[in-house]
Amino acid sequence: MKHVKTLNTKKLQSTVKKGGCGECQTSCQSACKTSCTVGNQRCENR
């Protein structure tokens, strides 16, 4: 595309089928203990 650069290739919709294994890190066990930060957790089931 000339006018658009899309940064990601994985769509959130595609994670509905195989997601939900629950093995990824709990957000408050990473660096924060006061602000819920889920979006930067790593998927364990890529």
Partner 1 sequence: MVHQFKNNGYDIVLDVNSGAIHVVDDVTFDVIALFESHTEEEIVSALSDRYDPAEIAEAIGEVTALRDNEELFTEDVYEHHITDFKKRPTVVKALCLHIAHDCNLACKYCFAEEGEYHGRRALMDYETGRRALDFLIENSGNRKNLEVDFFGGEPLMNFDVVRRLVAYGREQEKKRDKHFRFTQTANGVLVDEAVMEFANREMDNVVLSIDGRREVHDRMRPFRKGQGSYDLIVPKFLKLADSRGQERYYVRGTFTHYNTDFSADVLHLADLGFRQISVEPVVAQPTDDYAITEEDLPVLFDEYDRLAANMVKREREGNAFHFFHFMIDLEGGPCVYKRLSGCGSGTEYLAVTPWGDLYPCHQFVGNEDFLMGNVWDGVVKESLRDEFKCCNVYAKEKCRDCFARFYCSGGCAANSYNFHGSITDAYDIGCELQRKRVECAIMIKAAEAELSGIAGAEIVEEEGNNDEEK
Residues 6-45 that bind partner 1 (CB under 8 A): 6-13, 15-16, 18-45
Smallest gap from residue 42 Cβ to partner 1 (A): 6
Give me the residue label for tokens 């195989």. 18
Cβ neighbors of 28 (< 8 A, separation 6 or more) are 36
Distance in Å, CB of 35 to partner 1, minimum: 5
Residue type, 16: V
Binding-residue total with partner 1 (CB under 8 A): 44
Residue 16: what are its φ and ψ, rounded to 5°?
-65, -40
Kindly list the residues in this chain that would bind partner 1 in the complex (CB under 8 A): 1-13, 15-16, 18-46
